[in-house]
Every structure is written in C-alpha cells, then in structure tokens.
Amino acid sequence: MPTWFCSRDWFQTVGRFDEGGKGVPEDLLFFYQSLRRGGTVVRVDECLLVYRYHEHAATHSVLEDTIWDLRVDFLQERVLSQWESFTIWNAGKQGRKLYRSLSLTNQKKVKAFCDVDENKIQKGFYTYEESKERPKPKIPILHFRNASPPFIVCVKLDMTHGVLEENLLSLQLKEGIHYYHFN
C-alpha cells in the first residue's frame, strides 16, 4: 500500500483483498482486518517509496462517504464498544457529522461535545434536529477544560498550528487511552 507495508507471511495470514470491484477500498478493508487479527502499526519517519497517482487509479473511484462509513463502523467496533460514555472534541461540522453517523446506542453514550469556540460554548448544547426521538436529543457543549475523557477528537491536526496538541497535553491525556483521533 502507498502508506503502509507488511510481510508476505502476515499478508497470507490476514487473507486476500476484497476485490469487490470499482469503488471498494480494498486496502482500507485489508488494514482493518489486519488490526482485527492482532496486527500492529509502527511509524517510520522516512520516505520508503514514492507513490504516483494517475487519473485512472482505482483510488479515485472510492467515494468519500464510503471511507467515512467504514471508519465510523471500525471506530464503533474497536473503541466505542468498550466505552460506557465519551465526549466528542469538536462541536463543529466534523464532530456533529460523527455524532449523526453513530448508531443510536453510541449516540446515547455521548455525554457532551467540547470545543474552544466561545460562540458554540455559549449556545450551550447541540440539538440533533433530524432525530426521530422525542424530545430531540440535546447534547451539552463544554469548554474542553470542563469536559471529561474519554474523547473522540474530530479536529485535523494540521489545522490548529499545534494548539490542539497543546490543549491535549495540558490535560495530561494519553492517545489510545484517554482519546482517539478521528480525522
């Protein structure tokens, strides 16, 4: 894959790619199956290959919504199924999209959104208007310092110029224990 490698033995242990055809993200499905079978990830901070995209690459046939849905399903399976409750870190577009994409069971586990945007915090809550539930769910929006872990962080790391990382550090949180990134 252009972003990760595994040995041939591990490849054969995990199994074949899902060759479901155009629009199937077989590399992502294989990666998730590898993790399910106990595979691990080790970061290598050097360029090991150069990958060329071309206009006819199968990558371009995979819809963004397909990737999103697979990522949400994997998050629910591997992380949220282990938690009784959690906070979504980002009361903006991505955090709300994640909330709406969760199963009803996992939506009910969301105890709050947290953010740094005073306008969102002053509003006080997010109302899920499309919900069929009555009354419609209202989830509190808190300043991140007033929220409690565990967190699903829906903020892109390169968008905050290090502020998000500083905020996480200020709370002495450990990735993989107190929070997981979902972006």
Q: What region, left, alpha or beta, does residue 90 occupy, with left being phi > 0 and alpha being psi -120 to 50 degrees?
A: left
Does pLDDT of 44 surpass 90? no
Q: What's residue 58's pLDDT?
A: 64
pLDDT tens-digit readout, 48-85: 877 777 776 666 677 788 889 999 999 999 999 999 99
Cα–Cα distance for residue pair 177/151, rounded to 1 Å: 9
Classified as helix, coil or strand, 137 is coil
Identify the bridge partners of residue 110 per DSSP, sorted by sequence position: 86
- In the numeric block, which tokens belong to residue 102? 């969760």
Give the residue with greater pLDDT, 104 vs 162: 104
pTM (2 decimals)? 0.84
Say if CB 29 and CB 19 are below 8 A apart.
Answer: no
- In the numeric block, which tokens belong to residue 122? 């002053």
